[in-house]
A = this chain, B = another copy of it.
């Protein structure tokens, strides 16, 4: 049985070419990049190169890229870092209801630490309304943080519009681009964002390394104090191999974007979406139909519950995910789907299938063969509706 991994929003494999570049930095080029001697200097050079590669992916300057211990840490650093550095100027922060927990929980933590927080609602497709955003800005607003694209429903936010409002009002704008970076073209010279979060493991790089773009001139406070690495903003001996891997992944992503592979992915995604919608009754696509990540398909399959579907798919060799309650041990269904106005029972039936660079048309067809009988079988057990 060919196993088909369809959970690339959760994490991706390290591309073999990326791993190849990382390998020398474990047991051979193992120096501490802060050391004076040759062992250290060769590693410092490699880190500089990786920083330049990640910068290039965003059209940023190397000096504007900080490496962190992951996407969540970069989100925390951006938000707490701005809050600490600008708390004298104001104490109001804006975010959206469908942010990743790394943003939402950080903003809520600020709320407990004496900040005012506005959490904006989203429409039924998961988009923040530009008018709401504009209306939320107050004289004491220092920061707005809205994700580039949502991990559960794939919706891409109107980041340019939101960023332009921030520019106009003179407040800083952070976007969590963990799902988008490496998959959509991003150009910070053109895009009005001040801080932008990335994670290597969502773009065929290693886990445990993230990056924060901080626009030149924007001052933030560090989260991790110490030796002063990463321009004083993220202390700690650098994760050399991880950073080198991130650099290689950024180069790979830039090539893929330049080669138009996004279009290929988008076509396969649409084949999947259309196939699911046409072959299964009482299914709805979650998120925006077109303003969505090119590799992202997400649904609610009515009358059945997500985890049960995942396990059946897993036994059929297909790795999928669900915002379903049960996957997290909580009984609440996805807060993202609820924020989009779905009722609880429907939200419990969520299913996310996220494609990767190696997903083939055959994979999609296999899924389209496999999923309907699983849904049928579980619906046959459901008290709500049978014989779908």
Contacts and interface: CB of A to CB of B under 8 A. Distances in A.
Interface of A: 3, 5, 7, 10-16, 19, 22, 26-28, 30-32, 34-40, 68-73, 75-76, 100-102, 105-106, 108-109, 199, 201, 206-210, 223-228, 235-242, 307, 310-311, 313-314, 319-322, 327
Contacts of A206: 26, 239, 241
B310 A37 contact: yes
A101 B15 contact: no
Nearest to A68: B69
B26 A13 contact: yes
Given A10-B34, A30-B14, A69 B208 contact: yes
Contacts of A241: 206-208
A222 to B, nearest CB: 9
A223 B226 contact: no
A102 B35 contact: no
9 closest residue pairs by CB, A with B? A69-B69, A208-B239, A102-B226, A72-B236, A14-B26, A70-B236, A105-B225, A13-B30, A72-B226
B73 A35 contact: no
A106 to B, nearest CB: 5
27 contacts: A5-B31, A10-B31, A11-B237, A36-B307, A36-B310, A36-B314, A68-B69, A69-B69, A69-B70, A69-B239, A70-B237, A70-B239, A71-B236, A72-B224, A72-B227, A75-B226, A76-B223, A76-B225, A101-B226, A102-B224, A102-B235, A105-B235, A106-B225, A201-B237, A208-B209, A208-B240, A223-B224
A226 B101 CA distance: 4
A2 to B, nearest CB: 14
B238 A207 contact: yes
A27 B14 contact: yes
Contacts of A319: 31, 35, 37-40
A82 to B, nearest CB: 15
Oligomer: number of copies:
2
Instruction: Tell which of A26, A31, A35 has the most Cβ of chain B within 10 Å.
Output: A26
A39 B13 CA distance: 11
A207 B31 CA distance: 10
Contacts of A27: 13-16, 19
A66 to B, nearest CB: 13
Given A237-B70, A241-B207, A12 B38 contact: no
Contacts of A320: 37
B30 A7 contact: no
Given A16-B27, A236-B71, A321 B226 contact: no
A167 B177 CA distance: 46
Contacts of A73: 69, 73, 224, 236
